[in-house]
Structure 1
Amino acid sequence: MLEHFNALVDGLPPAMIYLIIAALVFAEAALFVGFVFPGETAIVVGGVLASQDVLSLPLLLVIAVVAAVAGDSVGYEIGRRYGPRLLDVGVMRKHRAKVAGAQDLIRRRGAFAVFIGRFTALLRALMPALAGSSRLPYPKFLLFNVIGGVTWVVTFTLGGYFAGTAFEHAAKLAGRGLAIGLAVAAVAGLAVWSVRRRRQEAREEAAAEAAEDAAEGTAVGEGVPAPARPLP
């Protein structure tokens, strides 16, 4: 995924790269793009590009934070306006175990759930709309949205920035060929970890849905009266 995004922005002017990163971060929760393309991928690559002086790190941080906060606010408004009807959207039905988990997190943690959800890909796409649907007061939502957005953007952008800096340093010390080999190995390891994490999440979600279906089946079965015994 990192390679695909890097290929997408290769050769583009900085202004266009800023726009692409902002659009992906904004759309993650506002348009549920996070189910397909996690926004942290965009800001990590942005951090790498900033380490290569392609982008300005301070400007990138500001743009990414504004896009993250604005996107989540739009997601919140969608949830507030459409409420329970939002749960009938196909992507919501597909991830109903995650939706139920996010709703439970909001009930237990309130506005703090918005901050927690910022650091998990699927929850990051779901949480703003579900917070709006649950009628969480917007001022509380906005406070934790800003705190979470700033923390998330700074963490992943600086992670990409320092990774890019480390690559350049390794290239000078050990030669660019070895550094590229190490970078490819690191990206491959990250890809394998990401695939395994998503598969694990899918298995957990399938197990939760199976348990939910079994519980519903049991409840229905208990509600059906036993057949009458024939009279002698």
Structure 2
Amino acid sequence: MSVTSTIVEPVLNFSGIPAYALVGGLAFGEAAVFCGFLLPGETAVILGGVLAYRHSVSLTVMAMVVVAAAITGDSVGYEVGKRYGHRVLGSRVFAKHQNAIAGGQHFLHRYGGRAVFLGRFTAFLRAVMPGMAGAAQMPYRKFLLFNALGGLIWGLGFTLLGYLAGASYHRLEDYAGKVSQAILVAVIVGVAVFALRRHRARSRLTAPLPAHETTAPDAVAPQAEG
């Protein structure tokens, strides 16, 4: 059993309002406090779906709580990033994650709103992407559009997956974790390839031209009039 499962499995002992509050709080806290790699929001959402399968909560209400908490938490993370983003991301807490942060920043710079949407489906980027968007001064309306779309699909999707998985949610948790890691690796590799190509293109543009190309052609002497 993973450490994440050990932390959040007590959720399965909850029902009603306490269950909604706990699952929603974990979904909210991922981006709101920049701790998504510590707060197991995605696993908690899956377990929220399992609770619905066990009839401890309503599937519809749980999905609504998760979506609202995800979107609201990201909006808080955006505001925190807008005011303190560079300071927070450069702190000791993120010292071991600077490569992933740099990759996320390049990803955001290149793809804008699409990066916000895709970041929702990667554990680490889900935690830091809203703050990065705020620090990059992305217009809030644009951020909210892509964030809400991602939060809607993510919240409904993982709650429903937990419900359909039922007692087999452990397999689903492991699968979701592997997919999330694969997406993050693909983002980092893609950004690295893009940066390398851009560097080579700039090198070609700034390279000195051969001597025969830099020599001005001789002026053509005008023909004498007959």
TM bucket (normalised to shorter chain) is 0.7 to 0.9
Task: Quote the offset at 1:41 in angstroms.
Answer: 0.4
Aligned residue among 31, 44, 51 for 1:29: 31
Task: Quote the offset at 1:5 in angstroms.
Answer: 5.1
Relative to structure 1, the CA distance from residue 136 to residue 189 in structure 2 (aligned partners, 3 Å threshold; closer, same or farther) is closer
Aligned residue among 165, 170, 175 for 1:187: 170
What is the letter of the counterpart of residue 117 of structure 2?
A: F
Match of 1:109 in 2: 111
Task: Quote the offset at 1:188 in angstroms.
Answer: 6.2
Aligned equivalents of 2:172, 2:71: Cα separation in 1: 31
Aligned equivalents of 2:35, 2:164: Cα separation in 1: 27
Are the counterparts in 2 of residues 5 and 42 from structure 1 also a CA contact under 8 Å?
A: no
Q: Given the two structures, how large is their TM-score scaled by the length of structure 1?
A: 0.71
What is the letter of the counterpart of residue 82 of structure 1?
A: Y
CA displacement 1:46-67 (0-9 Å, x = unmatched): 1111012111011011111110
What is the letter of the counterpart of residue 187 of structure 1?
A: H
The answer for unaligned runs of 5 or more in structure 1 is 168-182, 209-232
The percent identity for this pair of structures is 43
Match of 1:123 in 2: 125
What is the letter of the counterpart of residue 19 of structure 2?
A: I
What is the letter of the counterpart of residue 4 of structure 1?
A: T
RMSD, matched Cα: 2.8
What is the letter of the counterpart of residue 16 of structure 1?
A: P
What is the letter of the counterpart of residue 14 of structure 1?
A: G
Relative to structure 1, the CA distance from residue 117 to residue 96 in structure 2 (aligned partners, 3 Å threshold; closer, same or farther) is same
Match of 2:151 in 1: 149
Relative to structure 1, the CA distance from residue 189 to residue 151 in structure 2 (aligned partners, 3 Å threshold; closer, same or farther) is closer
Match of 1:69 in 2: 71
The answer for unaligned runs of 5 or more in structure 2 is 193-226
CA displacement 1:62-84 (0-9 Å, x = unmatched): 11111000100010001101142
Relative to structure 1, the CA distance from residue 136 to residue 25 in structure 2 (aligned partners, 3 Å threshold; closer, same or farther) is same
